[in-house]
């Protein structure tokens, strides 16, 4: 395994740091990337913020209005298959 690259940066008087370009490029973190800051026993961990908040099924279940008789699993499977065939035929 290759040795770990040691990079340094300096904390500004405003509490800002500049991440070395090599790290930003490897992580594909462009200007404006939101980062989650986590304090760990080993130091500070930076992780990109998720684009969407984590959602539980019960938070969104039945969130779209639908009037009519509930669909059976067979009807839903048939609908998904029909849409897949339609999209495949286009491409």
* Structure letter (DSSP) for residue 61: T
Which residue's entry shows tokens 């998720």? 50
For 10-44, write each residue's pLDDT tens digit.
999 999 999 999 999 999 999 999 999 999 999 99
Q: For residue 25, what pLDDT is reported?
A: 94
Q: For residue 91, what pLDDT is reported?
A: 61
Arithmetic mean of pLDDT, 37-63: 87
For the cut 80, the answer to whether the pLDDT of residue 1 exceeds it is no
- DSSP class per residue in 18-43: ---HHHHHHHT--TT--EEEEEETTE
Angle, vertex CA 18, rays to CA 14 and CA 19, nearest 5: 145
The pLDDT > 70 percentage for the chain reads: 95
Q: What is the pTM of this model?
A: 0.51
């Amino acid at each position: 395994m290759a040795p770990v690259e040691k990079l340094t940066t300096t904390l500004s008087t405003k509490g800002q740091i500049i991440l070395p370009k090599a790290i930003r490029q490897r992580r594909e973190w462009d200007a404006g990337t939101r980062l989650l800051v986590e304090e760990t026993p080993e130091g500070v961990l930076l992780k990109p913020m998720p684009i969407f908040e984590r959602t539980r099924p019960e938070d969104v279940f039945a969130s779209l209005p639908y009037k009519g008789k509930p669909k059976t699993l067979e009807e839903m499977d048939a609908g998904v298959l029909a849409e897949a065939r339609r999209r495949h035929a286009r491409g």
